[in-house]
Amino acid sequence: MKHMPRRYRHYSVQFLHPWDVRQIARLERMVFLEPMPMAQVVIKYLSPRTRFLVVKDGSLIIAYFGYEVLGPYAHVLANVTHPLYRRQGLASFVLTEAAVSAERMGAKAFIGEVRFSNQPQLEVLKAIGWTRTAVIEPFFGNGEGAHIVMKVFH
């Protein structure tokens, strides 16, 4: 992938392969209160509107960003960085790089929801130019509120 920075030269960046779908479900279970179940990851993976951009260290997925294009919006499914690979700029990288493919699929902006308690994600998004546009409370299954976040591509 031509936008891969030099500092990631020992990692590979690719769209998700079917044999790696299980790794996405495993990371979801590892980090989320309300993870996408394996069957749901498979359904999303098979949808022509969905893409998962992944970064791998050898065969291990160390970061991913999944999104689903719905008209002019690419809705964020999730982005995760493996706990052992955080603070290397990987989330910033996948979220930025994925705009290229989302735009090719017709989207004009990313839109997503971030838990009130998820300060790390809010910091990442702020650093790469996403904006908080609204609040919905409650939003998540456990009653927690969400910041609605967006990144317009141009």
Ligand X SMILES: CC(C)(COP(=O)(O)OP(=O)(O)OC[C@H]1O[C@@H](n2cnc3c(N)ncnc32)[C@H](O)[C@@H]1OP(=O)(O)O)[C@@H](O)C(=O)NCCC(=O)NCCS
Residues near ligand X, by CB under 6 A: 31, 63, 78-81, 86-92, 114, 118, 120-121, 123-124, 127
Q: Which CB atom, from 69 or from 80, has the smaller least distance to ligand X?
A: 80
The whole-angstrom separation of Cα 7 and Cα 5 is: 5
Phi-psi category of 105—alpha, beta or left, where left has phi over 0 and alpha has psi -120 to 50? alpha
Residues 6+ apart with CB under 8 A from 145: 115, 116, 135, 136, 137, 138, 139
> Measured from the CB of residue 79, what is the shortest distance to ligand X in angstroms?
5
Q: Which CB atom, from 41 or from 91, has the smaller least distance to ligand X?
A: 91
> Measured from the CB of residue 118, what is the shortest distance to ligand X in angstroms?
5
Q: Which CB atom, from 50 or from 121, has the smaller least distance to ligand X?
A: 121
> Measured from the CB of residue 112, what is the shortest distance to ligand X in angstroms?
7
